[in-house]
Amino acid sequence: MSTPTTLTLLRPDDWHLHVRDGAALSAVVPHTARQFGRAVIMPNLRPPVTTAAQAMAYRQRILDAVPAELLAQGRRFEPLMTLYLTDNLAPDEIRRAKEAGVVAVKLYPSGATTNSEAGVTALRKTYATLEAIQREGLRLLVHGEVTDAAVDVFDREAVFIETQLEPLRRDFPELKIVFEHITTREAAQYVADAGPWTAATITAHHLLYNRNALFKGGIRPHYYCLPVLKREVHRQALVAAAISGSPKFFLGTDSAPHAAQLKEHASGCAGCYTALTAVELYAEAFDEAGALDRLEGFASLHGPAFYDLPVNADRITLRKESWTVPQDLPFGEARLTPLRAGESLAWRLVEDSAGGV
């Protein structure tokens, strides 16, 4: 079967996104707003977003960064806000968050990734708050890696499933859990076998690359993210899950901007910047798997269903047309290197002449 040269989808959403704050926020929000209708905004600022009031103020700063041209075309972009779970987040704050429209709470094991110092040191300490999250019907978004230095970095997700996720699921049977940015066959299998309250996001880079990408011709810091890229067998399992049609798997870019000089560093930051080309990267992964017909479910339908939200009413169109990703982008005082900088992409998001809904 020959590949179609254009592809029209209901407008997708990004169910896992980092946009930072200040000048960095202003630099990256336009990229996401151009592609997506909504995005779940990660709360790992410094200091983290831990109150409903902070989440709402952050939401407004994001809305203020949506380009006027998009709004003039009738487009809207909606940030969906999250709180950062700490050992001390009060159950009462969950009620306030629900009332304010916050959609989820993010669990970072302390020390697991960028700005996770304030994260949870032991799940037991958060049980009263997890009860409130379950009761209020918010989602719990989980960075699923153990932080024990004795565990090999490539095994931290699989060990997390056994030692943390299984007990959590047993103790909170109706908690809506999203296992974020899954990277292994074990995680894909766990989610597929779990009940209806467990879902997962998958990034474009984990669908497209295995860990060889980190070392191709020298160390490649722009391919370094957490959880780190894994072996090819895991990449294949993620592709199989993404194209399976199962509503448990949906799009979450985990686009995580860092100044280029902080990634090209003796101790480089974790995070791949994919927001500029997110839908194109996913289209490439689904195209390579011969499953473009499954992209709309993954990108535009499964996420809203898990979050009990309507699907977007407008559409986007992609064209099969090679183009070159810019070498770098402005990022406040610094520069930002997008994934695939200077390389070509096979698909291109067509400018949205039809505009809004």
Active site residue 254: yes
Rounded to a whole number of angstroms, the minimum distance from the CB of residue 87 to Zn ion is 20
Element (H, E) at 6: strand 6-10
Closer residue to ligand NCD, CB minimum distance, 270 or 350: 270
Question: What does 71-134 look like in DSSP terms, one character per residue?
Answer: HHTT---EEEEEEE--TT--HHHHHHHHHHT--EEEE-BTTSSTT-TTSBS-GGGGHHHHHHHH
Of the residues 13, 14, 254, 352, only one is catalytic, namely: 254
Kind of pairing, strands 38-41 and 78-84? parallel
Residue 234 binds ligand NCD, judged by CB under 6 A = no
Among 45-53, 60-68, 110-118, 327-335, the segment contacting ligand NCD (CB under 6 A): 110-118
Binding mask 9-28 for ligand NCD (x = CB under 6 A): ---------x----------
Q: How many CB atoms lie within 10 A of CB 195?
A: 9
Question: What does 260-307 look like in DSSP terms, one character per residue?
Answer: HHHHSSTTPPP----GGGHHHHHHHHHHHTT-GGGHHIIIIIHHHHHT
Residue 224 has φ and ψ, to the nearest 5°, of -90, 120
Rounded to a whole number of angstroms, the minimum distance from the CB of residue 31 to ligand NCD is 16
Count of residues touching ligand NCD (by CB under 6 A): 12
Report how far Cα 78 is from the mean position of its chain's Cα atoms: 15
Provide the token pair at 171: 């103790």
Beta partners for residue 330, in sequence order: 335
Rounded to a whole number of angstroms, the minimum distance from the CB of residue 100 to ligand NCD is 23
User: Restricting to residues 27-46, which ones interact with ligand NCD according to CB under 6 A?
Assistant: 44
| DSSP helix/strand/coil, 322 | strand
Closer residue to ligand NCD, CB minimum distance, 183 or 312: 183
Binding mask 240-259 for ligand NCD (x = CB under 6 A): --------------x-x---
Residue 225 binds ligand NCD, judged by CB under 6 A = yes
Residue 245 CA to residue 253 CA, distance in Å, equals 18
Residue 339 binds ligand NCD, judged by CB under 6 A = no
Kind of pairing, strands 315-324 and 6-10? antiparallel
Provide the token pair at 147: 């932080």
Beta partners for residue 200, in sequence order: 179, 249
Inter-axis angle of helices 52-64 and 22-35, nearest 10: 70
Rounded to a whole number of angstroms, the minimum distance from the CB of residue 248 to ligand NCD is 20
Rounded to a whole number of angstroms, the minimum distance from the CB of residue 226 to ligand NCD is 4
Select the binding partner of residue 311 from Zn ion, ligand NCD, none (C-beta < 5 to 8 A, by kind): none
Select the binding partner of residue 114 from ligand NCD, Zn ion, none (C-beta < 5 to 8 A, by kind): ligand NCD
Do the beta carbons of residue 316 and residue 280 sit within 8 Å?
no
Binding mask 26-55 for Zn ion (x = CB under 5 A): ------------------------------
Residue 114 binds ligand NCD, judged by CB under 6 A = yes
Q: Which of 78, 93, 157, 254 binds Zn ion (CB under 5 A)?
A: 254
Residue 109 binds ligand NCD, judged by CB under 6 A = no
Residue 226 binds ligand NCD, judged by CB under 6 A = yes
- Which string of b and e fits 4-25 if b means at least 16 CB within 10 Å? eeebebbbbbbbbbbbbeeebb
Q: Which of 143, 176, 205, 263 binds ligand NCD (CB under 6 A)?
A: 143
Among 46-54, 113-121, 155-163, 319-327, the segment contacting ligand NCD (CB under 6 A): 113-121
Closer residue to ligand NCD, CB minimum distance, 115 or 246: 115
- Residues forming contacts to Zn ion in the complex (CB under 5 A) are 254
Instruction: Report the catalytic residues.
Output: 254
- Residues forming contacts to ligand NCD in the complex (CB under 6 A) are 18, 44, 113-115, 143, 225-226, 254, 256, 270-271
